[in-house]
Amino acid sequence: MSKILGSGEKAREALLYKHIGKAGNLVHCNLCSHYCIIKEGGAGKCLVRKNIGGKLYSLNWGKSAGFAIDPMEKKPFFHFKPGSRVLSFGTPGCNFRCLNCQNWDLSQAVKEGGKGALDIPTTTPAQIARMAKENMVDGVAYTYSEPTIFYEYAKDTVEACRKEKLDMFHVFVSNGYFTKEMLEDVVKEKLLQGIRIDLKFINDEKYMEVCSGHMQIVKDNIKRVHALRGKISLEIIALVIPTLNDSEEDIRNLCKFVASVGKDIPLHFSRFYPQYKMQDLPPTEERTLLRAREIAKEEGLEYVYVGNTNLPDVENTYCPKCNELLVKRNGFSIEKNVFEKLSGKEKKNPKCPKCGHKINIVL
């Protein structure tokens, strides 16, 4: 399954690719929606999937650049396992080129630093499973960089946790640019219980200009994941960037789209801070974020949050019918959770204790 390439570099043969061409030395990667056709010796747009001898290899398998124990709320997931703790990690590489990336030193490491970015010690999935067990976490979050492009590593980690008989969940923090083939494999193998997707722009030109991707692909994947409700939980985050997507028209159009998919999808508006190649823009004004929240509610969205601020009462969960406070948050900690003592059928079908309205939350 793996191959030593020299200079200590280890790679795992990739999943989800096909041989094409008469000679069979071209490969078609079906993992992310760039659907790269890669010639022998070449790499995909992510720079970490390489055609070696007519086979596609994942160069970032095992190359975790950092581990942390995080609260679920930091991802952020507010409606999936509130108050739980996850082991978080990522690898170098990404299939986007976001000019504002806050984790650019990891996601763009190969682009900025070259092949040396992968010259880090290997951490095996078995080691990660043991780490998760020793730290007594509730789940594993594949994050920091785009987990789609280290899918083999993530899948092997899920399987290693199962081998250890660990009763824990697994979630992706994703840009939503995976393929339907990848999602089908996730569902078939029951790999993930949650996916948080960035909806970065509601304008395709801006998506391409800032991220090097297409908007419609992300929107389609949001619909696909939402159709899996009951199997995979979905939350959406929208980073509000001054002058690029902070107009009322853009925000309303984004909210209209989310509402058309599901009014009970949790939507997080996040404050922009200057990063990477967008150092010339100011942080998002708080009033813009508060107005975005108002617009979302006007469009019928039931669970809307504002992140990366110290604003009060913008990260609490309320019943969308009677406005009862259900979950009170302070930063990444939970001060009140009306569901915490539920068990059995009540836990599987949580309802507002005041009015009985069904709440879209996984406990």
pLDDT digits (tens, 9 = 90+) for 158-206: 999 999 999 999 999 999 999 999 999 999 999 999 999 999 999 999 9
Predicted pLDDT of residue 113: 86
CATH of 67-348, one of 1.20.20.10, 3.90.600.10, 3.30.420.10, 3.20.20.70: 3.20.20.70
Q: Boundaries of CATH 3.20.20.70 in the chain?
A: 67-348
Residue 9: predicted pLDDT: 47
Please provide residue 273's backbone torsions phi and psi, each rounded to the nearest 5 degrees. Answer: -125, 145
pLDDT of residue 4: 37
- The per-residue pLDDT for 66 is 82
Q: What is the pLDDT of residues 318-342, one digit of tens each?
A: 999 999 999 999 989 999 999 999 9
Indicate the burial class of 205 (C-beta count within 10 angstroms; 0-12, 13-18, 19 or more): exposed
Check residues 2 and 311 and name the one with the higher pLDDT.
311
Residue 2, pLDDT > 70, answer no
Mean pLDDT of the chain: 95
pLDDT one-digit tens code per residue, 90-106:
999 999 999 999 999 99
Lowest-confidence range among 17-26, 80-89, 273-282? 17-26
- For residue 11, is pLDDT > 80? no
Helix-strand-coil split of the chain, %, nearest 5: 30, 25, 45
pLDDT score for 8? 41
Residue 310: which of 279, 271, 336 has the closest Cα?
A: 271
| pLDDT value for 50 | 96
Q: What is the mean pLDDT of residues 118-141?
A: 96
**CA 168/CA 104 separation, integer angstroms:** 29
Q: Are 128 and 87 in contact (CB under 8 A)?
A: yes
pLDDT at 1: 39
pLDDT computed for residue 23 by the predictor: 73
Distance CA 305, CA 269 (A): 6
- The rounded percent of the chain whose pLDDT value lies above 70 is 97
Q: Calculate what percentage of the chain has a pLDDT beyond 90.
A: 93
The pLDDT value recorded for residue 21 is: 80
The per-residue pLDDT for 6 is: 36
The per-residue pLDDT for range 196-252, each reduced to its tens digit, is 999 999 999 999 999 999 999 999 999 999 999 999 999 999 999 999 999 999 999
How high is the pLDDT of residue 10?
A: 59
> Of 88, 14, 106, whose CA–CA distance to 51 is shortest?
14
The alpha-helical segments, DSSP class H, found in the chain are 104-107, 109-113, 125-134, 151-163, 180-189, 204-206, 215-226, 248-261, 286-298, 344-348
Is residue 81 scored above 50 in pLDDT?
Answer: yes
pLDDT at 24 over 80: no
Query: Would you state the pLDDT for residue 193?
Result: 98
